[in-house]
Amino acid sequence: MVIVVSGSASVASASTSIPAQTPEAPAIAPTPVMLEQVLVSGEQPGPGMWKVSKADHVLWIIGTQSPMPKKMIWRAKQMEAIVVQSQEIITGPSVSVSIKQIGFFKTLFLIPSAMEARKNPDGATLRSIVPADLYTRWLALRDKYIGDYQDEESDIERRRPMFAAMELYAKAINKAGLTSSNLVLVAVTATAKKYKVKLTAVNVEPAIGDARAAINELKSSRLADTDCFAKTIERIETDLDLMRTRANAWATGDIGMIRGLPNIDQRTACEAAINNASFIKTLGVQNVRAQMEAAWLNAAESALTNNTVTLAILPIEQMLKSDGYLAKLKAKGYNVQEPDSATE
């Protein structure tokens, strides 16, 4: 159940003697005052599982939500019951670059350069890069969620717009009582280890070109990341309460509520800023999202062929999208059932 608290301002007046010829003043309607969404806490069931099947082979999928309430404890009894029956657990897709690709000592050398690349080239500040009206909105949110910076020489003011926005988003959701930690992955991984079930991490590790040249190129060039910055600010300004509503809906298992809520997401704009940057071409990393999708779908189909029961994890938006992972499995002929109709 999503908990919504609301209140109203009331108008009180003392009774006084009014001459008969004086017309009565019109009544003033109370002004509603909406309080912020209250987050659930304690043990919560989370959503039911999606069921994908092929003959008598079943793939159960948990849809993950981010962010989620910090004080919520996932009552994962259904998950544990499925893990006990499973031959394999499949994680959600991820991407990483391993030390073995670029070497341990080179990695140590590159880390400071990569951290320095978060800053704008030529010592530029956010004020000098983003439009004035957008910077004014940034200042209001920065002072509210990060702190009152009077000095434009401060680190946050010299970061690239995208990296400043990432810091602001993290601070804002934390202050809103939310966390971006993947509580589901932590719980599922622990349960898989407890019952000694095979854990398959779906991780894409793209081949890396010249990492040093790519970082140097990034340090000397600007990203087209103003749209990422703007959409992150818009999301924090308008979507924090909806984030709480979505988080509550996930915690209480209300899939219908999640499906019906608008989903403002800055990630597409931020990913575009990276994907279209020249340093990515130097690095040799292309079409990562498509690679992640293909890797997860291959793991899911392999599991459905080889295992009687499998448990998997996916972001819930991929469960609900008309062109998401489940839609593609369904198009391939697999039987897909949503939690309301899926039964063990």
Q: Which is it for strands 32-34 and 42-44: parallel, antiparallel or unpaired?
A: unpaired
Answer whether residue 220 is part of any domain.
Answer: yes
Asked if the model's pLDDT at residue 292 lies above 70, the reply is yes
pLDDT of residue 211: 67
Distance (Å, whole) CA 121 – CA 138: 20
Asked if the model's pLDDT at residue 107 lies above 90, the reply is no
Answer whether residue 171 is part of any domain.
Answer: yes
Answer whether residue 74 is part of any domain.
Answer: yes
Asked if the model's pLDDT at residue 332 lies above 60, the reply is yes
Residue 86 — pLDDT band, cuts 50, 70, 90? very high
More confident residue, 200 or 214: 200
Q: Which domain holds residue 315?
A: 40-337
pLDDT of residue 271: 84
Convert the pLDDT of each residue in 294-305 to its tens digit.
999 999 999 999
Tell me how many domains the chain contains. 1
Residue 265 — pLDDT band, cuts 50, 70, 90? confident
Choose from 18-22, 88-92, 263-267 the range with maximum mean pLDDT.
Answer: 88-92
More confident residue, 40 or 62: 62
Cis-peptide, bond into residue 26, ω within 30° of zero = no
More confident residue, 81 or 342: 81
Q: What are phi and psi of 342, to 5 degrees?
A: -85, 125
Place of tokens 């690239």: 160
Answer whether residue 2 is part of any domain.
Answer: no
Asked if the model's pLDDT at residue 56 lies above 90, the reply is yes
Answer whether residue 35 is part of any domain.
Answer: no
pTM equals: 0.77
Residue 311 — pLDDT band, cuts 50, 70, 90? very high
Choose from 180-189, 262-271, 300-309 the range with maximum mean pLDDT.
Answer: 300-309
Q: Which residues of 99-120 are buried (b: 16+ CB within 10 A; e: fewer)?
A: eeebeeeebeebeeeeeebbbb
Answer whether residue 64 is part of any domain.
Answer: yes
Answer whether residue 76 is part of any domain.
Answer: yes
Residue 147 — pLDDT band, cuts 50, 70, 90? confident
Q: What is the mean pLDDT of the chain?
A: 80
More confident residue, 44 or 258: 258
Range in 61-70, 166-175, 206-215, 309-318 the model is least confident about = 206-215
Answer whether residue 90 is part of any domain.
Answer: yes
Asked if the model's pLDDT at residue 9 lies above 60, the reply is no
Residue 290 — pLDDT band, cuts 50, 70, 90? confident
Asked if the model's pLDDT at residue 16 lies above 50, the reply is no
pLDDT of residue 32: 36
Distance (Å, whole) CA 327 – CA 330: 5
Asked if the model's pLDDT at residue 132 lies above 50, the reply is yes
Task: Provide mean pLDDT across the span 216-243.
Answer: 87
